[in-house]
Each structure stands twice: as C-alpha cells, then as structure tokens.
Amino acid sequence: MSFEIRERDILAKIGKLKTKHGKIETPTLLPVVNPLAQPVSTQELWKKFGCQIIITNAYLIKKNFEKTALEKGVHKLLNFPRAIMTDSGAYQILVYGEVKTTPEEITKFQEQIGTDIAVILDIPTGWQTDRHYAEWTVRETLRRAALTLKLKMKNDIHWVGPVQGGNHLDLVALSAQEISKLPFSIYALGSPTQVMERYLFDVLVDMIITAKMNLPPEKPLHLFGAGHPFMFALAIALGCDMFDSAAYAIYARQNRYMTEYGTVKIEQLKYLPCQCPVCTKHDVTDLKASPKPETERLLAEHNLYVSLAEIKRVKQAIVEGRLWELLELRARSHPSLLQALRKICSYADYIEKHSPITKKRGIFYFGPTGLCRPEVIRHQKRIQENYNPPKRAEVLILLPQTSVKPFHNSPEYRKIIRAITQTLGKKIPKIHICTYAAPFGVVPLEIDDTYPLSQFEMIWPPDYETIHYVAKQISDYLSMGRYKTVVFHNDPRNWGNAILNASRQMCKMRNIQFFISSNKLDPWSSKSLQTLQNVLKTSLAKKE
C-alpha cells in the first residue's frame, strides 16, 4: 500500500493511493454516504458518477446495522465495490457532545467490516474552544492515536491520524509534529467544519498550512467536511489531497442548487446554468414542480456533478501549471475567499520552497494577488541571494520592459543596444543592462529568456501596487552597492515616478551616481535614444 505522486503545482499534487479495492487518484472527493438516508444510491455513485471512493460513518453503521455489517462487510452492506473510508463517529462528539463507543470498540469494528481507510476515534477541538479544553483534545487524540496503532490487527487498512488544535495554531503545530511521529498512512486536519461554515477561509489557510509545515510532505492530507466546490482550488493548492462532503445532499434537502461559485435557491432560478445530465434533461419548471423527494434527488445529483467536475478542473490546472490562475478566479467568487488568498501571502516563502521550479506553460499575472505566487517570490530570492552581475560592470542601465519577450529580442532593445555600442565602443564591458519589469522587479538582460521571465502575460499598464512592488525590488537590488553609476531610462507614461524616485533615493543613500534619460518622452523614440547616448557619455566622462 503506497502513495505515488505524479504531478505538482503550488503545494497541490496529483497522486495515486493504493488500497485493497483499487487505486485512488488524488485529489479526490469522497461523497458522504448516510447509511440511514441516501438520495443518490451507491450503485449510481460508482456507475453513473465514477466515484473511486466514498466515506460513511462506522459509528452509525455499528449503532443501526452492526450484525449485518459484521456478516457481510461494509462493501456488501453499502453495495459499493470500490474503496470505502469509514469515519469513527468523532464528528458526533462535536455535534452531540459524546458517542456511545470507545476507541477500542470502534477500531475493532472498522477492521471487522473490512474498510479500506479508517479514522481513529479522536476528540475534535471545535471552533473557539478555550485553551485548556483545546490542549486536552490534542493530548487525548494523540493518546488514542497511539492506542489505535497498538490495537489494530490488520495491515491492509490505511489508518488516518487527525491533527487537532482548532484555531490555536501553536497546538495545531504541536499536534501535527507529534502525530507525524506515528506511522499513519494518511493524516487529516480535524475541526475545520465550523470554520468553513462561517466562511472563515483565512483561518482555514492558517490551520492547513500550520499542519502541512509539520507533517510528512509525502503523505496524503485529508480535509474533513470540505463541502463546497468553490473552495476546492484553495484547499488543494494548500496541499489537501482528500475531501469528504455531505454538502451535495444537505444542500439538496434545502433546495439549494450548487454552482462552482456559490449556491442558489431553486426558487430564485430562472435558468439552469449547467450542462450536466440533470440540467440538460430538465428545466427550472421541472425542478420546482416535482415532488419533494424527486427534487431532492435531482438536486443531489446535480450538486454531485458540479463538485466532481470542479475536482477534475483543479486536476487539469495542476497538470497545466495553472492552479494559481484558477485560485485567483475562484477567489473572486466570495470576499472571504479573496481574503484567504491574501492570507496565503503570509506563507509565500514556505509555498515557494515546495513548489515546482518550472512548468509546462507560462504564467498569467492579473494583479497584486499574484505578487506572492511562487514564481515571483522565487525570482526575488534568486536575485537577492544567488545573482551577481558581470565582474567588470560599473554602470547599470535600467530599461523599461517591452511587450515583446524576451526583452533583449524586442525591436526597441535592439535599437538601444546598437546605440549604446556605437556610443561606448571599448567601454561596453563596463555596462550592465537590466529591465524593470512587472511583476518580477529587476530582470538582468542575460537571463531574461529563462522561465518565467519571458513566459508570462499581464495587464498593461501595471497597477499601483505592482508598480510599488517593482520599485521596492529595484531599491533592494541597488542597496547591494554593486555599481558606481546608474542610468535610469524613464517611462513615466506607464510607470509613473515611483520606480524613478525609489532608485534615485537608494543611489543617494549608497553614494551611487544617478542619471535620468528619456524624461517625459517616448522611451523608444529617436530623441530618447539620443538622450540616453548623451547621458552615458556624461556619466562615463564624470567617472574618468
């Protein structure tokens, strides 16, 4: 039994988890099957919807169908021939305060009914619990985790070790560190349901990343209760591999129609904005006029189609290296998701460290939320920590970016380089040319064709926040004191004066000669070229 990783993007991964009832491709959604009332049959779940795995509640099965489950096993009981994950009933503790079973009992029962993936009977921390109780839930969960591993008799079941701590992030870190010392096949983040119900996705980001930073990166992470497809991209991008969801059925009971950006009451619908089998065979009138059980069934099917389609959409984005773009798109579904995307910036260094270095496609930069994406952070780090300009370079020429990439191949740059060569002759080795470019900051001309410096598209002209980010990167680069003279080729029509002012101020602080060319002119005009030539002659004459 193993977990094999095939593709990566951000912290997301496409993997294969081997179970005794077949391989499961992750990320995957596990529809919750209620053994007492199920709007979509388990036969349909695998035949019609292609579900590789489902999740059900071992505690409810034990309470209501114990004898049959022990005789037949959980797969025949539920009539589902593929992988099944069983929850221990711990969520009932969160809702009702207790369950009438013990860790020993539920461990033995899950083994006896032949589940593929089993969860220990942990103690959920819950949301906004006091510190004393939260500490106890962590200690007790760890005790039960160790106990379960001692009690288990079979080796063909993946056991899940939950991380507790709730919104106490230091406890989440401690819980993750300690449970990672135990040989679980899968880990899970406990107690997120109430956070998600309150749309506190920024808190969820803190919880997931804190757990991820302290768990083995090669093992799958399960997120309990991640029900709505509009947040799948967020959770998967943060490294979650498996989700269980009863939302498709719960929303159906509430007459709620799922979309990838939210839910709508069917009373408010005039159209069905979907091409799933339910929506192509029925219209809004059918849904409204059908008997309640039929409406619930149709809505549950539709909701499941939408949820599973979003998982596939995320997987395709991972393969293409476009998960960040999908993440930004989904973040516009709700202000709380956009807030969560901004929260991700707090962990930009960690995410960059664990993200792929290259991708199959270039990147799209839409605005300031993209400033903390791994590719931008990685370039910033490399320039600051690993890059050295040519040894003989004394004069830095900062040129604005062009629409043609790589920049050195643009007609504008070729014209400027010819002019510089004609002007300086033998002094050309003393010149180093860099670009100030959004969203990367400093782009040395000799590396501007490396990924992703010439493999990106962006909105033009840059927005205010992006310009000021580039200004800071230029200022930080100049602060290293690598040059004696800086010639800034200005493009105020597109960039304003923020980068110019930041460069001038840093040169003054570092006692670097600073010259401006192309002031208030088209930077690529003949007049601007002449200005640049004159400035270079003046700057080199002053040096001598």
DSSP-derived secondary structure for 383-421: HHHT----TT--EEEEEE--SSSSGGGSHHHHHHHHHHH
Spell out the residues 6+ positions from residue 232 whose beta carbon is closer than 8 angstroms to its own: 27, 29, 226, 243, 307, 310, 311, 314
Report the candidate in 309, 287, 308 with the shortest Cα–Cα distance to residue 298: 287
**Predicted local confidence at residue 542, as pLDDT:** 60
**Predicted local confidence at residue 246, as pLDDT:** 92
Instruction: Provide the residue ranges of all domains of the chain, joining segments of one domain with +.
Output: 3-250+257-353, 365-543
**What angle do the packed helices 169-179 and 131-151 form, to 10 degrees?**
10
**Predicted local confidence at residue 544, as pLDDT:** 53
Residue by residue, DSSP assigns 433-462 as: EEEEETTTEEEEGGGTTSTTTTSEEE-SSP
436: which strand partners?
400, 442
**Class of 3-250+257-353 in CATH:** alpha beta
**Predicted local confidence at residue 254, as pLDDT:** 95
- Residue 29 is encoded by which pair of tokens? 């959604």
What is the DSSP pairing of strand 83-87 with strand 513-517? unpaired
Handedness of CA 267, 272, 277, 281 (dihedral sign): positive
H helices of 153-264, where? 169-179, 193-197, 201-212, 232-237, 247-253
Rama region for 456: left / alpha / beta (φ>0; ψ in -120 to 50; rest): beta
Q: What distance in Å separates the CA atoms of residue 331 and residue 313, rounded to the nearest whole number?
A: 15
CB atoms within 10 A of CB 392: 10
Instruction: Determine contact, residues 409/499, Cβ cutoff 8 Å.
Output: no
- Residue 230 is encoded by which pair of tokens? 């509009």
Residues present in the chain in total: 544
Map residue 134 onto helix, strand or coil: helix
Report the candidate in 445, 437, 489 with the shortest Cα–Cα distance to residue 462: 437
Rounded to 5°, angle at Cα 227 from 30 and 37: 65
Q: What distance in Å separates the CA atoms of residue 309 and residue 379, rounded to the nearest whole number?
A: 34
| Cis? peptide before 27, omega within 30° of 0 | yes
Q: What distance in Å separates the CA atoms of residue 161 and residue 185, rounded to the nearest whole number?
A: 8
Amino acid at 446: E
Q: What distance in Å separates the CA atoms of residue 338 and residue 369, rounded to the nearest whole number?
A: 9
Alpha carbon distances (Å) from 249 to 155, 233, 402: 33, 21, 52
Given 1.20.1280.290, 3.20.20.70, 3.40.190.10, 3.40.50.10630, which CATH number is that of 365-543? Answer: 3.40.50.10630
Supply φ then ψ for residue 523, to 5 degrees.
-65, -15
Task: Write out the chain's pLDDT in tens, 544 residues.
Answer: 589 999 999 999 999 999 999 999 999 999 999 988 899 999 999 999 999 999 999 999 999 999 999 999 999 999 999 999 999 988 888 777 788 999 999 999 999 999 999 999 999 998 889 999 999 999 999 999 999 999 999 999 999 999 999 999 999 999 999 999 999 999 999 878 888 888 899 999 999 999 999 999 999 999 998 878 999 999 999 999 999 989 999 999 999 999 988 999 999 999 999 999 999 999 999 889 999 999 999 999 999 999 999 999 999 999 999 999 999 999 999 999 999 999 999 999 999 999 999 888 899 999 999 999 999 999 999 999 999 999 889 999 999 999 899 999 999 999 988 888 888 776 677 889 999 999 999 999 999 999 999 999 999 999 999 999 999 999 999 999 889 999 999 999 899 999 999 999 999 999 999 999 876 778 888 888 888 888 888 877 665 5
Q: What distance in Å separates the CA atoms of residue 377 and residue 358, rounded to the nearest whole number?
A: 14
- Torsion angle, alpha carbons of 7, 219, 336, 471, to 10: -60
Q: What distance in Å separates the CA atoms of residue 17 and residue 28, rounded to the nearest whole number?
A: 10
Catalytic residues, by residue number, are: 87
Instruction: Determine contact, residues 503/486, Cβ cutoff 8 Å.
Output: yes
Map residue 321 onto helix, strand or coil: coil
Answering whether pTM is above 0.85, one says yes
DSSP state of 475: H
Supply φ then ψ for residue 430, to 5 degrees.
-75, -10
Instruction: Determine contact, residues 250/38, Cβ cutoff 8 Å.
Output: no
User: Each residue of 448-468: b (16+ CB within 10 Å) or e?
Assistant: beeebbbbbebeeebeeebbb
Residue identified by tokens 């939408």 is 306
Q: What distance in Å separates the CA atoms of residue 505 and residue 490, rounded to the nearest whole number?
A: 15
* Rg of the chain (C-alpha set): 29
